[in-house]
Amino acid sequence: MKTLALDGSSRKRVFVVAILFMGLAHLTMLKQYIKGAIFALIEIVMIILSPLLFKLLRNMVTLGEPKPELPIFERDNSMFMLIDGILILAVLFVFLILYVVSVRSALSTYKDYCVTDTLPQSKHFLSEFGAKAFPIAGLSPLVMLILFFVVVPLIFSASVAFTNYSVPGNIPPNNTVDWVGLDNFKTLFGGNATWTGALGRVAIWTLLWATAATVTCYAGGMFMAVIMHESKIKIAPIFRAIFILPYAVPAVVSMLVWQNLLNGSFGTINRTLIELGLMTQQTTIPWLSNATLAKFTVVLINLWAGFPYFMLLTMGSMTAISKETFEAARIDGASRPQVFRAITLPSVLYQTMPLIIMSFTHNINNFGAIFFLTGGNPVVADSTTTSAKGTDIMVTWIYNLTINLQKYNYAAVLAVCIFVVLAPFAIFNFRRTKSYKEGEL
């Protein structure tokens, strides 16, 4: 074996050998036998498994052949094939990263060698491993969980958007599923008037809803916080305790209670209004059964449930504004609205901006507020075909498509739409983080 040059000229050789076989450079040139053996073992395992991996990947491409002559449980299950394929892709991805790590480790060891003229001993590897073990152990549960329970399902969802996984003809294990390219997207975006209409309606309402819900809750919460802070009422803590009750009560409970209270025929609110003589049995208000009114009701009830969060938030942010600032403003003769406009609002807004955006994305996905209050009702013209009802937002529609209609392919297309709409918000929030600004990331 040729000795390594000290002037860095063997870098290319180390690089090639490291790429040739995982751990080879460690074993033959750098005398890091333990490290090299571990890397080599990983690659050997992968090579032994490769026929199986290849078969699973091929299954993912074909999604199985229909074999009607076999009993149901021996037929090809396209969904298992798809998910196995994605899992294998994830494993390959991890393997690829390990490969990169091994090559980089070999190069950096060589670099050290050039400087110090000694190759690190295996003992050194053990102590180095001790130092690295902690971050690896600390991150591995996160990586595994995220990979298999977040990333793989999301990729699976996105893949289903390009298949015909739906009732009636393509539900495993009875039948197989096939790749259909962009057919689902074509149907939803213009190919079929009913579906396109429903998608447009639901998409517009989802955006309207998220905007209205966020704005009302934010404004309401801030208003309550500011007047309680300003007026310095002695029993403010009691009011505060009352106001955070809606936040403390689980949404399922409060929304279902509201659903019953607002019921058009037997709901307590309409019955109270009748008793008070404000209306008659015939002119009851269809809070949740008129498509337009139901939308207002949903936003209103969401305000009831959502303002406490922003009230607490504003209170917290306001304590961060120094008392001197308020005092200085008062001495300068600023009126209450002026103080609010010039001091409280800007600083609270600045501090809570990421949370406003988060709240907006949360509301786009606010399943509970819609599902438990209205269940998506009332029914509109295309509801029987599309399962999208009057107050359904994207996520509740996805739920309906999955659970009731079993049109998984369309549900997946909607999920992809949500991804496209929400990703910019995530990036925006990311760019505002301290770590990003300080160039750490």
Partner 1 sequence: MKEKMDQTPIDDDTNDLNQADNLPNGGSVVDKEAKKSNSKKSNSVNENQKDTPVEIEKDRIYEKQNNKKSLKYQNAIQRAKNRTYKIFVFLFLTLVSLVVLYPLVYAVSAAFSPGRSISAMSIIPFGSGVTTAHFKRLVSETNYIRWFRNTLIIAASTSVSTVLVCSLAAYVFSRFRFLFKKTMMLALLVLQIFPSFIGMIAIYVILLRIKGLDTLWGMVLIYLAGNIPYNTWLVKSYMDSIPRAYDEAAKIDGASNARTFFKIILPQASPIITFLAIVSFTGPWMEFIFAKLILRSNENQTLALGLFSFVTDKKNEFTLFCAGALIVAVPFIIFFLITQKVLVSSLAGAGVKE
3-state secondary structure (DSSP) of residue 179:
strand
Q: Hey, which residues between 12 and 51 contact partner 1 (CB under 8 A)?
A: none
Q: Which residues contact 1 (CB under 8 A, 6 or more apart)?
A: 28, 29
What is the rounded distance in angstroms from the CA atom of residue 52 to the CA atom of residue 46? 10
Q: Tell me if 354 contacts partner 1 by CB under 8 A.
A: yes
* Segment interacting with partner 1 (CB under 8 A) among 36-44, 53-61, 285-293, 364-372: 364-372
Q: Residues 70, 139, 167, 328: which binds partner 1 (CB under 8 A)? A: 139
- How many Å apart are CA 230 and CA 236, to the nearest integer? 10
Q: Contact between 263 and partner 1 (CB under 8 A)?
A: yes
Q: Which of 51, 135, 277, 337 binds partner 1 (CB under 8 A)?
A: 135
The answer to the question of residue 57 lying near partner 1 (CB under 8 A) is no
Residue with Cβ nearer partner 1 (326 or 399): 399
Among 84, 46, 43, 42, residue whose Cα is nearest residue 63? 84
Give the H or E element holding residue 430. helix 408-432
Q: Examine residue 325 and tell whether it contacts partner 1 (CB under 8 A).
A: no
**Closest distance between partner 1 and the C-beta of residue 33, in Å?**
23
Nearer to partner 1, 114 or 273 (CB): 273
CA–CA gap between residue 168 and residue 69 (Å, rounded) = 19
Q: Is 379 left (phi over 0), alpha (psi -120 to 50) or beta?
A: beta
**Nearest CB to partner 1, comparing residues 27 and 82:** 82
Separation of alpha carbons 163 and 289, rounded Å: 36
What phi, psi does 179 have (nearest 5°)? Answer: -70, 135
Q: Which of residues 61-120 bind partner 1 (CB under 8 A)?
A: 79-80, 83, 86, 97, 100-101, 104
Residues 197-226 that bind partner 1 (CB under 8 A): 224
Among 14, 22, 88, 398, binds partner 1 (CB under 8 A): 398
Helix (H, G, I), strand (E, B) or coil at 305: helix
One residue of 160, 217, 288, 388 binding partner 1 per CB under 8 A? 160
Options 57, 173, 368, 383; binder of partner 1; rule CB under 8 A: 368
Please identify, among the stretches 1-9, 26-34, 199-207, 233-241, the one whose residues bind partner 1 according to the rule CB under 8 A. 233-241
> How far is Cα 345 from Cα 339, in angstroms, rounded to an integer?
9
For residue 401, count CB atoms less than 10 angstroms from its CB and return exposed for 0-12, middle for 13-18, buried for 19 or more.
buried
For partner 1, the binding residue among 120, 173, 197, 246 (CB under 8 A) is 246
